[in-house]
Chain A
Amino acid sequence: MVLSKNSGGHRGMQESMYSVIALVFILVACVELCDAAAAIDVYRLIQYDMSGSAYGSRFAVLNHHAAALHFPPGADLSRAVLIIPLRELNITFVREYINQKKPLGGLLFLLPDIFSFENGGNKQVHEKEKLKNLLAELEQLLIHANIPYPVYFAFENDEIDTVLADIKKNDAIGQPATATTGGYKLVIPTPEPKKVASPTITNIQGWLSGLKVDGDTNQLPTIAIVASYDTFGAAPALSVGSDSNGSGVVALLEIARLFSLLYSNPKTRGRYNLLFGLTSGGPYNYNGTQKWLRSFDQRLRESIDYAICLNSIGSWDNELWIHVSKPPENAYIKQIFEGFSNVAEELHIKVGLKHKKINISNPRVAWEHEQFSRLRVTAATLSEISTAPELLQGTGGLFDSRQFVNETAITRGVKLVAESLARHIYGHQGKNVQIFADGGSLAVNPAYIQSWLDLLSQTPRVAPFLSKNDPFVMALQKELADHTDEVNMQHEVLEGVFTFYDSTSARLNIYQVASVTFDLLLLLVLGSYLIVLFSFLVITTRGLDDLISLFRRPPSRKVKTA
């Protein structure tokens, strides 16, 4: 409001009138938004198109009554939102509902606290594994279905627990909530979801140069260590992917740190270049890795001795797998595997080799090393997973939270990779030399791993929703710049098969509403009260005749002339 500075009391009065009117309007407008029984954060199911087919939840706005499981059979749920806590989930029921396309107003899943970062903590929950598997199954069901109503996830807390208990009580009495019987109303006022235009994927690479001896004209060989850092899950605002692939990113950063310490001193600098790659686009057939590799020039690509890709090394006990696409009899593969096995034996880890042939005509890329192999670079993936995951599976969903990742596992994995690499670089294969021994200056730092793992477990990293200048991407770049000589960022567009829609999180308001019949009844009661009051007052102050005369028309007067 710009108040003109003209003098004159009249003007001043007018302006204060306007400001009063404006205040009244503001008061009128903003009164609706702040009086809910409960308001909680909710996270929407992902909405995406793949090769033209629509998947996920296609709507975001919600304005319906709440219902719980065990609704009376035959109840009409097309204008009701089903609230389902994970603990009571019956997956066949949901599958049936979705596959048979039964009409529903919306779905709200309540996740136990252990899956959230703030409250997960160290709670020991019974059947942790069972809940994890159930959630994984639910996620796979939801992301591959086309659901024409809003689906949201929320964490359990006291408010919503009381609301749910109340709804169940009402359902038990036998009256589901509709417009005439009161109950709870769930309102999510959010704009319609729009397509994310030109989603970017950002690859970050760090280059650590090896020691070039004077007179040596050949290009130094390079070893690449790669991990993809983005995730994909049922709720993009919750897809933190602590294990897939947060553990890989953390391990890569720690390895970079250790080797930067070694390479900082020319006396201990190895005769290999080290290339660290944090790639994006992992869930989408490692699209980002492919683009990154294509951007290399020929000489660099040919100088890569081999590449180690890290994928999910955060929750294993004693066994890791090395996945390759070249046959195990290949000399290079043998060398790599032997190097790893020797170190593994000393660390009491069992390492197995798995061979999966790649099929050039099949667009499905299950492991990151396959992108390297397609360009004829020797590569292997180190992972705790033994079988190749399907598309959009194992990419860091809802169940992949901090609770289920073990820092010790990552520490051991880092030691394994670092020692194997160091022995290869410095030519100590087969010798029992501990370069990164515990307690030394080059020991693996568990605090570093833990703090980065905590950060990753709080940052959802679904690529289309990570902008070019996202603070997390900047943080990764800065960290890699600290440990390497040269950092480059490559921005690409995730084009082609996938299209994403925004609106990933919102605020749910729960109102306790009275039904229309209640209001009508109240109006009736008040009307009769006022009428009774009126009659009572007329009778006591003016007399009964007056009351009756109110209702009788004045008799027609026949003027009698006397």
Chain B
Amino acid sequence: PLPLPSPLSLPPPMEEFLGPQPEYDEEEEEKKYYRRKKLGVVKNVLGASVGGMIIYSVYMGLLQMQLILHYDETYREVKYGNLGLEDIDKKMLMGINVTPIIALLYTPILIRFLGTKWMMFLASGIYALFVSTNYWERYYTLVPSAVAIGAAIVPLWASLGTYITRMAQQYYEYVNYKEDHVQEQKKLPKGVCHRYVIIFQSVFFIIFHLSLVFAEFPQRLFLHQFLSDYNHTLYNVKHCGAEGSGMIEGFNRTVLKHLPRSLLLIQVESVLMGAAFLSMIIFLAVCGAAYRPTEEIDLRSIGWGNIFQLPFKHLRDYRLRLLIPFFIYSGLDSLFSVTGLTLSYGVCTVGLEWLYLLVMVYGLSCSLFSCLSLSLLRLPRYVSLLGGAVIHGPLLVFLLFWSPAPRSPDQLPYLLVVIALWGMGSALNKTGLSILLGMLYEDKERLDFVYTIYHWWQAIAIFIVYLWTGLIMRAKLSILLVILLLACFCYWTMERRLAKNMHFRLPRIPRPKHKVKGYRYLEEENSDESNSEESDEDDDEEHQEEVIREDFGGDAGSQGSDSTRERRGGARGRRRRRDDDYEQAGEREEREKEGERGIEKE
């Protein structure tokens, strides 16, 4: 620091700050610095988990409360008369469930443009807007906000997945800051950050699944006192469970004993609104950026056209292709557990007044059994996914033959056991998939594409569930079972191929082009001129490489870039190595290359 020009001219703290510090220990300082950084990463993970948990609690709690209220004929007619609330609700659900279908087109662009943190913040804002529109339920408020939610679901989840995985990578970097590959910002060795991916994803899901518990608070604390008992609501219900069809056939059109005061509703909604706002603040203030500014600029600079294409190109990778059935199953499972299991089996048997318990138990079991995924630290990675399938498979068969009688509250314990088991399977499934993706794709440049694909397929599956609402229960269960078996088969195939070192085709991530105006980097306008000329050359080469790559799935690219770098290299250019941006397919070869390069480097 600056020595003091005159001791009298500065206040004591500044003096201290500026004065020479003999006991300055660089090593120790560095350690402290990276400890702070590690804590920051943990804070980010917890922030994202809690933020996501709160916003989903609010969203699901509100949606459930409103759907129940709007289901009640009296409430609807009295409060909204000729407004056609039922129609609006249908449109709203349609907006939420159908819009995500086109999410694949814009999600990567959105994430790359905003960055994961800001994407999560924006999405939480959209959810908060949806909460606020529930004060004033009109066609022109509810439907647009539902469409907005539908549009935000896939980006939110893709950025959450990317964020958590990326945090695991950062954590690894901060733990091993002395390693060369970290210092030089090279590609991390394969498998080094799996450990953190497993822990972080598990923690995320442990916290996130609690949202199902909190989502029932409005139901338990507010709506419960207004609900009629099962003798009234289930009066005309003839079949439950496997024999039923649709949601609940013959469910009474009125479910409320008496109508809630609108002031009370406003109060409840205000509490929810406050929670939504809190989660926005958490995303904004607690979560740090997932990528460093330079990285973010690079991510953004590969060209929007490329960003748009890359998710589709990634679908050529057989690993992703073979996981698609599992993605679909995961989506089917998440909606089936809420609509099929809790409604057609649970509510149909014990009545609406126990809905909150069913969902709470489901959420608790999901959250609790997400811990099981931590076992992947010791066990092979297929344990989680296949374990989930092993639980769900027999359960599905059991459900195919189980039709509890309506209006039989004595069945409640059995239902809770079934639902808890199902929750266990779901938890293994969800955490397993996220962890698996984080392990398979360690490249920080393509995380968002992979998670986008995953959640897009999930959204498609949710759309399918939305379409099949009226189907008979056995058909639904059979579809689930078939897809589960297919998913297991495909997954097993994938693992076998990987074990056989079969090459997979990965699209190359193009080199970043910094053609953007200088203000973004605070530099002279022409500062990038020379670079961009060079990168144009690179582009040509890359183009060729890509063709080669796609033909052989091998790694032929790195030499080219090396040569460019050498051309430039008179002044010990410690420029950031762009070479790393090249994608590597067939990672073993890549590691060898990496070794060579490392030697060449220093």
A binds B: no
Residues of A whose CB lies within 8 Å of any CB of B are none
